[in-house]
Amino acid sequence: MSSTTVFVPRDAAALSLGAEQVAQAIAGEATARRLDTRVVRNGTRGMCWLEPLVEVQTAAGRIAYGPVAAADVPGLFAADFLNGGGHALRVGPVEAVPYFNTQDRLTFARVGVTDPVNIDDYLAHDGYKGLTRALGMSAAAIVQQVTESGLRGRGGAAFPTGLKWQTVLDTPADQKYLACNADEGDSGTFADRMLMEGDPFVLIEGMTIAALAVGATEGYVYLRVEYPHAHRALDEAIATAYERGYLGADIMGSGARFNLHVRLGAGAYICGEETSMLESLEGKRGEVRPRPPLPAVKGLFGMPTVVNNVISLATIPIIIDKGAAFYRDYGVGKSRGTLTVQLGGNIKRGGLVEKAFGVTVRDLLYEFGGGSASGRPIRAVQIGGPLGAYLPESQFDTPLDYEAFAAIDALVGHGGVVAFDETVDMSQMARYAMEFCALESCGKCTPCRIGSTRGVEVIDRILSGTESRLHVELLAELCDTMTYGSLCGLGGLTPYPVLSALKHFPQDFVKV
């Protein structure tokens, strides 16, 4: 009899809920029962409320059970879960769960399915098809495909990826660089982490294609230090890619060269800003550089540099493999393709939802998220990280679309959606936004460095009730200065959460 494969995620979210103990319990129980099982540590399917989600490869396909605790393991064996037996925790095939099967999994196609650090598993699931095609194309043709796909930077700035690449391609230099921004510091976001832990090879492949397209031979992944699990997965995958000839001096026998290095951040939110990230990669304080020059012209070590987010780069292989039109056919308006939405905070079914642009906030919160975790009404959501606006219930029908969000003074950002129930005090969230800006400001420009501290003080004065109206006006003026006077998005966008909280929840700022 051949062995039965059991999947237990190695994703940090699953581990944070006891997946390691579950994996050990399954291996131990199988040994005790003299059953031949093989435990594969996959990525997460993204349904965090079911984690740890264990899947068993049966004759009838993969059957899932969750959330599994180590104490449930003997009972699962007793219920013959290795053959898909009935049990209170039986979820059935993941592909039959509406949360999962209504998604558009393009970038995340393999995450949760494969063994993340097994390159043969990657190859068996369409891995390196994009790079194989790219090696037969001219640099200009690759860039053109990316441009035609309509892909925009998924880190939050939404700048057209193809246009950025074209600039680097067109800038002659002896050395060009590629820098992947994996400093996913936006609270409420974890798509980069799940992708790097669940399918690191797709990021490596995407970066290799990008390097070919612009003529870069050295690449860096700037990874935040708070992600040790992603670090391990990336290191393992990169080492394998070198061994198997997918990185290094002769990529897939083509003669093309690309070296990839992982560099760790050190707990500075601002280093998610691209110029500050480049300073940090150079070994300096992460202070923002004035633009121009653009990094595409004068970036890392003064050379032309492509800076892209993890999700943007990990989406490149499928675009090159299936063609620009395939990707562009998803989405709405000028927002093409899919967004990897992350549902978090006070939400019943939190997790990763990859969906074509155009889905409404309400559908995400209720059809996918199932409402709040506490069971109380959802009062506000913050979208796009700590610099994103707070949306009240009246704006929940807004479709996820860069332009539709801009029209209501909100940000799509990196796609983080954080739900709050009616117990939230929005004045405290506004105050926190200023406090966070003060804490994380790099100090280079005055509006951000000083303005954020003054912002906390002004909000405190509003809340103290003395001359509140005057101080509300002052806060608006201060936000105006920060918006137009700051060098980068930290000072420039902090007014979004502050002013949206004040505009949509004014009653929270009046203390009785």
Name the site residues for another protein (rule: CB under 8 A). 12-13, 15-17, 48-49, 51, 184-190, 192-193, 225-229, 263-269, 280-287, 301, 342-347, 350-352, 373, 382, 386, 416, 418-421, 424, 429, 432, 436, 439-440, 442
Q: 144 or 187: whose CB is closer to another protein? A: 187
Residue 105 or residue 193: which is nearer to another protein going by CB?
Answer: 193
User: Rounded to an integer, what distance in angstroms lies between the CA atom of residue 338 and that of residue 356?
Assistant: 4
Answer whether 200's CB lies under 8 Å from 233's CB: yes
Contact assessment for residue 130 and residue 319, using Cβ atoms and an 8 Å cutoff: yes
> At its nearest, how many Å lie between another protein and the CB of residue 422?
11
331's tokens = 């989405």
Query: How many CB atoms are closer than 10 A to CB 475?
Result: 23
- Nearer to another protein by C-beta: 266 or 510? 266
Cβ pair 383, 361 in contact under 8 A: yes
| Closest to another protein by CB, 146 or 247 | 247
Nearer to another protein, 301 or 484 (CB): 301
Helix, strand and coil in the chain, % to nearest 5: 45, 15, 40
Q: Among candidates 347, 348, 504, which has minimal Cα distance to 427? A: 504
Please count the other Cβ atoms lying within 10 Å of the Cβ belonging to residue 138.
Answer: 11
Using only C-alpha atoms, the chain has a radius of gyration, in whole angstroms, of 24
Shortest distance in whole angstroms from residue 185 CB to another protein = 6
User: Smallest distance, Å, CB 342 to another protein?
Assistant: 7
Cα 378 to Cα 204: distance, rounded to the nearest angstrom: 39
Give whichever of 162 and 188 is closer to another protein, judged by the CB atom: 188
Kindly tell me which of 200 and 416 has the beta carbon lying closer to another protein: 416
Please list, residue by residue across 326-365, b when 16 or more beta carbons sit within 10 angstroms of its beta carbon and e when fewer do.
ebeebbbeebbbbbbbbbbbbbbbbbbbbbbbbbbbbbbb
Which one, 143 or 347, has the nearer CB to another protein? 347
Q: Distance between CA atoms of 50 and 69, rounded to whole angstroms? A: 11
- Asked if residues 384 and 411 have their Cβ atoms less than 8 Å apart, the reply is yes
Smallest distance, another protein to C-beta of residue 262, A: 10
- The residues that bridge with 55 in the sheet, in sequence order, are 7, 64
Q: Count CB atoms within 10 A of the CB of residue 377.
A: 10
Which CB sits closer to another protein, 282 or 329?
282
Query: Smaller CB distance to another protein: residue 114 or 441?
Result: 441
Using an 8 Å Cβ cutoff, are 214 and 206 in contact? no
DSSP secondary structure, 105-137, as one string: -STTSSTTTS-TT-HHHHHHTTTTHHHHHHTTS
Q: How far is the CB of 350 from another protein (least distance, A)?
A: 3
> Amino acid identity of 372?
S
Gap between the Cα atoms of 256 and 343, Å rounded: 40
Q: Which is nearer to another protein, 54 or 281 (CB)?
A: 281
Best CA proximity match to 181, nearest among 151, 216, 217, 157: 157
| Minimum distance from residue 193 beta carbon to another protein (Å) | 4
Q: How far is the CB of 188 from another protein (least distance, A)?
A: 5
CB within 8 A of 319, min separation 6: which ones?
Answer: 130, 145, 146, 149, 151, 326, 327
Query: Which residue, 318 or 501, has its beta carbon nearer to another protein?
Result: 501
What's the min distance (Å) between Cβ of 48 and another protein?
Answer: 4
CB of 2 vs another protein, minimal distance in Å: 34
Q: Residue 112 has which token pair? A: 């949760």
Q: Supply the minimum distance, in Å, between the C-beta of residue 227 and another protein.
A: 6
Closest separation in Å from C-beta 433 to another protein: 9
At closest approach, how far in Å is the CB of 390 from another protein?
Answer: 10
